A and B are shown apart, each in its own frame.
Chain A
């Protein structure tokens, strides 16, 4: 029995070491992406950054950065954004944009249209959010934005 327990213990340790080495060497798995509850909503943990990995052999790799409001964005604090004109994008995984580098998200692409940098796009997206979540977020940010118009679509982007 003693031999069995020591062999099992040794096997577990060996497996853990090898897994650690394989994962670090090949990068087939990404950084942990912890979720939290902010303002009563299911969001990402502020301040986290790393590499998101997806695909059978980790072939989709993209950087992410979670801001103070719990969204994946290069704008670290939506509430202290100095740019005058702001666009809010509310949606699920498409807006969350983990499938592309955070610097290449849809918000940044829209901002790039305006070369004089007169607008800022705030992305409010969490994967798997539904219409109820969209409405909740819309109500929440209503207090902080002066709306010019609201665009509602039936696609991922709402």
Chain B
């Protein structure tokens, strides 16, 4: 079920009413309702894949309980690896089987060995990368004795499949979300209204910003060979805002919906396009995944301790794995590698933690130096997003080459036949940036005018959505 669908507009009030009016006196019943609602939410797409979530839940719940009573280190390790193999096994099979097979075939053919491909027509279960990482965090934390394993199966199931963040995050840590299922939730007016505002702001980002940009992005990337350098650059910049609107919009809706039910999820995006260097960008972009990789991969590998070679190795590992997490395609791996290349000089020169605050701290406007830094960081990320959006490395390199060499060709926007104007999209993007910049400058959110904000956002979402909007979210495919 999609957040921006009529199905969800009916589903949400029903679950909300049952949650606060029918099951509110019994915590277990309330948690059971969340599990049932989440299964309906997920099964709406394809009920068969619910079995994966249920199996993963059973495995990690059982392993968590075994870990509690097990003191022998070798057995604890076996239990941990069982969870890792089961979870990553599912992920590997559904997401990467065909990728590895295709690459083996290519590698063999390189050495003159032709083998008959036997690929499988595998459907990628929506959100598998997200809930797999979430359940893994539970088992790893229990193994490291950072978290007491739960005895409450219903609460654990609700933690694994909590519908607002089940299919596209934020990837919640068990230490943050699971304890919230143990406590009775009380309805708070301010929290719920703020949740509504965040849902509408998320819808604005998705429906107005991302979907409006998507129309041009799809056209330009699908016909990239026809267009000139400037059109391709506009396409790449529009994709930069599309992916941000799409993904951070989803996170906002997820966080807002959770607040309606009395839960607090972690912030997933913090105005990333106002970053002054790539290290700051990665502290502000997809925070839940970045911190997951930091805590469960980068630090166990040694982090930034050790020699230069180790730092380089660890940086590349974390970014390449992050790229591979996004999809089974070389484009994502190069996307990760490029980010590692950007990040590495900052790390080696110990500048990776220079910009820990917000831009123009203590001032209203950024300095010229900060503007230059933000502009440079933004354009570097635009370059990486070309790989992210392209279907193949060949396409990505061709687009970048065309942009750099200012290739001649058709201009989509200055063509009197197509008569296309992007003024509306530019105004909308500037509006988004203005609001985000304002949010950096205001320390505490002012709830005084929240009613007006909600009304204005709802009107904008209704009026400014493109007529033939593609409903799906980009991150569903991951």
A interface list, Cβ under 8 A from B? 1, 3-4, 7-8, 10-11, 14-15, 18-19, 22, 28, 56-57
Contact = CB atoms under 8 A, between A and B. Distances in A.
Given A7-B193, A15-B458, A22 B463 contact: yes
A1 B17 CA distance: 11
B187 to A, nearest CB: 5
B459 A11 contact: no
B193 A14 contact: no
Nearest to A13: B455
A4 B455 contact: no
Contact of B196 (A8, A10, A14): A8
A1 B455 CA distance: 19
B146 interface: no
Interface residues of B, number: 15
Interface pairs A-B: 3 shortest CB-CB: A15-B458, A14-B455, A4-B192
Interface in B180-239: 187, 189, 192-193, 196
B189 A22 contact: no
A10 B451 CA distance: 9
B370 to A, nearest CB: 34
B455 A15 contact: yes
Nearest to A1: B187
Most buried by B among A4, A10, A18, A22: A4
Given A18-B455, A56-B424, 10 more contacts: A1-B189, A4-B187, A7-B193, A11-B451, A11-B454, A11-B455, A22-B459, A22-B463, A28-B463, A57-B424
Contacts of A57: 424
Contact of B459 (A1, A3, A19, A56): A19
A18 B459 contact: yes
A3 B196 CA distance: 14
A22 B458 CA distance: 13
28 contacts: A1-B20, A1-B189, A3-B189, A4-B187, A4-B193, A7-B193, A7-B451, A8-B196, A10-B451, A11-B196, A11-B451, A11-B454, A11-B455, A11-B458, A14-B455, A15-B455, A15-B458, A15-B459, A15-B462, A18-B459, A19-B459, A19-B462, A19-B463, A22-B459, A22-B463, A56-B421, A56-B424, A57-B424
A29 to B, nearest CB: 9
A11 B462 CA distance: 14
B421 A4 contact: no
A7 B194 CA distance: 12
A10 B458 CA distance: 13
A14 B20 CA distance: 25
Contacts of B187: 1, 4
Interface string B95-112: 000000000000000000
Contacts of A3: 189
Nearest to B212: A56
A22 B463 CA distance: 9
Contacts of A11: 196, 451, 454-455, 458
Contacts of B189: 1, 3-4
A103 to B, nearest CB: 24
Interface in B399-454: 421, 424, 451, 454
Contacts of B455: 11, 14-15, 18
Contacts of B193: 4, 7
Contacts of A1: 20, 187, 189
A61 to B, nearest CB: 15
A90 B168 CA distance: 47
A15 B459 CA distance: 6
Contacts of B451: 7, 10-11
